[in-house]
Chain A
Amino acid sequence: MRFVYDGTKWLPQPLVDVWEGEAVPISQIPTIPAYEKNPHFSVSSELLSFLDGKHLLLDELPFPLELIQEHYEHGYIFYQKGIVRTDQGYRCERCGNERTHLFASFACARCERLCTYCRQCITMGRVSECTPLVVSFVRSERTFYKQPLVWHGTLSSGQQQAAEAVVRAIENNEELLVWAVCGAGKTEVLFPGINWALQLGKRICLATPRTDVVLELAPRLKQAFPSVPAIALYGGSEDRGKQAPLVIATTHQLLRFYRAFDVVVIDEVDAFPYSVEPMLSYATEKARCETSALIYLTATPHPHWQQEIKQKKRTAVTIPARYHGYPLPVPSFEWCGNWRKKVKRGTLPKNVTAWVEKRLVDGKQAFLFVPHIELLQHVVSILKKLDGRIEGVHAEDDERKEKVGAFRQGAIPLLVTTTILERGVTVPNIDVAVLGAEDDLFTEGALVQIAGRVGRSAQYPSGDVRFFHYGKTKAMLAAKRQIVRMNNEAKERGLLQKR
């Protein structure tokens, strides 16, 4: 869309019947004037509520352009430039992209000139030089809830200590990292904090990298806070355009928000894609209010975050023990020679085969992690000779859900998998092995997550974690160290079951 200047103000061209003068894309308006809020203007509460805490494309706003323009002229909303020029090139104001290779230009039919757009956030609709981002200056009324938490569970003492730290961070608008081992029960740790925030009338967003986690968390939170409107946002979600004091969203959806939340919780901060996409940390900063709390949840913080915690540059609280109070299973390392060569020849190293056979004989289910899809297929066909029920699963597997389901029901004795199952999948009473733990793909975090699959239920709190390798790596050692350190800390703090 282009704007025209009629001598007093900027108007969207479609609102002007005949125009002989120049029409420019928003990026070429030197400064977009902001107007004093007119208290006598009769506002559209639908529009303002739709825009509450967001910045959106005109295409995303189901309102007539006239109405939007009126609200702009009366000081209720504002047009921001979607793309701005920088010294090095461009910046996308929605996603923060400044990398030249993620911009492209085309002959745009909207502004009738060569128009540069951002390719990084294109899946959420195109932001180009002629795209205004519409923001509102008005926030909706806060709602204060009296004791909204309805939950009858109890927190372990490790969870309790972390929960108190979360409450304090929310109260004081601080940043906090909650480092909770796999199986510590980190969602419940948030309950007292969210409860307190809702009593103070705060707006809360829980963001996580993956849609399936949003779908799993949303009903749990709705159940815990039944009187509070909560919405779940992800690509294709039906809650789009709705407002609620409690928002559960994928980290991508944060891009549409603008100074919206008093509390932002980022779950699995280390998981793909948050850690690889600076876009999402930009989105988090943008979605927070200027004074707000930011809580990170993770079982496996990045090495440089661990360093910052050690140097006391980053406030963190740890939950070193699992909810059930048993220590984490510690991985053992076993050298298995040049296993890739063996796999190519159609066999597996003897100790690996022996490990698998033992599980089959004992009837104990297991995951076997391998680094790559191509290897996975070879390994599966080798293992199928031992037991035809053995299956493999990887990221692009259409039957992924079915296979994991069959494993849960016990129909598959051993599941060979790539790192996609390193998180989230919890099956009681299993053992875990990694073939080729020395591969670059198995970072410290990935290995800790893999080990974290074992001993999750109170009924079966232990199990075997074996890293088969062709040369130990720093990541392997660091993973083991991290697990041992957590167990020691848990013991020192008296968080383990007395037996």
Chain B
Amino acid sequence: MNGYCLLCHRRYVSRMSWSDLLTVKQEDVLCDVCRRSFSLIEGDICDRCGRSFSLLDETYRQGECCADCLRWQQDDEWSGMLTKNRSVYVYDDFMKEVVSRWKFRGDYALVEAFRIDVRREFFRHFSSESLLIPIPLSRERLYERGFNQAKALADLLFLPVFDVLERHDSEKQSKKSRYERLRTAPFRLHAGGQLQGKSVVIIDDIYTTGSTVYHAARLLKEAGACDVCSFTLIRA
């Protein structure tokens, strides 16, 4: 089969095998070289936040959990808000490049490059009964980007998407310290009620300190959700 790689735009021939002919397998939108450049999170991971232990200094590991997650659990305010996070890719230089083109330059189509991995990893960790709640952008940021990257990821999963969160600060999370991130609640709920007893999965592009996801989780718990997990494209 012939095509142009979605990332490098070069013409490529995807290798055909008998299993491709016998099963209805989706054809890759990337060439071999670009596909191999993505690093999946594999091996031993933190039970809670899903980060790879192999990339982490031994001293940060506390049994099956990482030091960051332990800190969340020891804080009465936050303990138990988030059941677990799982992510697809490692945040390496290649991924930084790809995400910057997708999110900041606005090359929406690149979401297709994540489709196969995102679907496989999601259903490995979460049930197909889950309710998806994408992390929203502020109005200004949404206008600037033209699309919400978390929503674009959620749309890959063909599960019910609940847009119940609304962002009321426009500051970029990455410009704040951990302390500032924790102090200010960035979201509010704009359609409550239907969450009673539901188990939901928050969808976002990246899990860095976890504060975005924890804030959203607390709000959803308060609104009655019984179980809140999160799923992100990247674990930084």
Contacts and interface: CB of A to CB of B under 8 A. Distances in A.
B107 A109 contact: no
Contacts of B152: 106
A117 B4 contact: no
B142 interface: yes
A104 B146 contact: no
Contacts of A361: none
Given A108-B147, A109-B147, A117 B9 contact: no
A425 interface: no
Contacts of A106: 108-109, 146-147, 152
Interface in A45-76: 59
Contact of B107 (A101, A107, A115, A122): A122
Interface in A80-134: 101-102, 104, 106-110, 115, 117, 119, 122-123, 125-126, 128
Given A102-B9, A122-B101, A123-B101, A109 B145 contact: yes
A341 B152 CA distance: 48
Nearest to B5: A101
A107 B152 CA distance: 10
A110 B146 contact: yes
B4 A101 contact: yes
Contacts of B145: 109
A125 B147 CA distance: 14
B80 interface: no
B106 interface: yes
B101 A128 contact: no
A117 B147 contact: no
Contact of A126 (B3, B4, B105): B105
B158 interface: no
B143 interface: yes
B106 A126 contact: yes
Interface in B142-165: 142-148, 152
Nearest to B102: A122
A369 B220 CA distance: 61
Nearest to A131: B146
B166 to A, nearest CB: 14
What is the predominant secondary structure among interface residues of chain A facing chain B? mixed
Contact of B146 (A101, A119, A126): A126
Contacts of A108: 146-147
A59 B106 CA distance: 13
B147 A107 contact: yes
Given A101-B4, A109-B147, A119 B142 contact: no
B236 to A, nearest CB: 21
Contacts of A119: 9, 107, 109
A106 B149 CA distance: 12
A150 B144 CA distance: 47
A117 B142 contact: no
A128 B146 contact: yes
Interface residues of B, number: 17
B215 to A, nearest CB: 23
A109 B143 contact: yes
Contact of B106 (A102, A107, A117): A117
Given A101-B4, A102-B9, A109 B105 contact: no
A128 B105 CA distance: 12
Contact of A122 (B3, B4, B106, B142): B106
Given A101-B4, A102-B9, A123 B146 contact: no
A122 B147 contact: no
Contacts of A102: 4, 9
Nearest to A110: B146
Contacts of A110: 143, 146
B36 to A, nearest CB: 13
Nearest to B139: A109
Nearest to B155: A107
Nearest to A127: B106
B142 A109 contact: yes
A126 B145 CA distance: 9
Contacts of A117: 106, 108
Contacts of B144: 59
Interface in A285-311: none
Nearest to B93: A398
A400 to B, nearest CB: 15
Q: Most A CB atoms within 10 A — which of B106, B109, B146, B147?
A: B146
B143 A104 contact: no
Contacts of A122: 101, 105-107
B94 to A, nearest CB: 11
A104 B142 CA distance: 19
Nearest to A1: B143
Q: Most A CB atoms within 10 A — which of B4, B9, B109, B145?
A: B109
Nearest to B152: A106
A255 B107 CA distance: 18
A122 B104 CA distance: 10
Contacts of B108: 104, 106, 117
A125 B105 contact: yes
B39 to A, nearest CB: 16
Interface in B1-57: 3-4, 9
Interface string B128-148: 000000000000001111111
Contacts of B3: 101
Interface string B88-120: 000000000000010001111100000000000
B147 A104 contact: no
A104 B143 CA distance: 18
A109 B145 CA distance: 8
Q: Which 4 pairs across A and B sit closest by C-beta, in order of nearness?
A: A104-B109, A106-B108, A126-B106, A101-B4
Interface of A: 59, 101-102, 104, 106-110, 115, 117, 119, 122-123, 125-126, 128
22 contacts: A101-B4, A101-B9, A102-B4, A104-B109, A106-B109, A106-B146, A108-B147, A109-B146, A109-B147, A110-B146, A117-B106, A117-B108, A119-B9, A119-B107, A119-B109, A122-B101, A122-B106, A123-B101, A123-B105, A125-B105, A126-B107, A126-B146
Given A101-B9, A104-B108, A117-B106, 13 more contacts: A59-B144, A101-B3, A102-B4, A106-B146, A107-B147, A108-B146, A109-B147, A110-B146, A117-B108, A119-B9, A122-B106, A123-B105, A126-B106
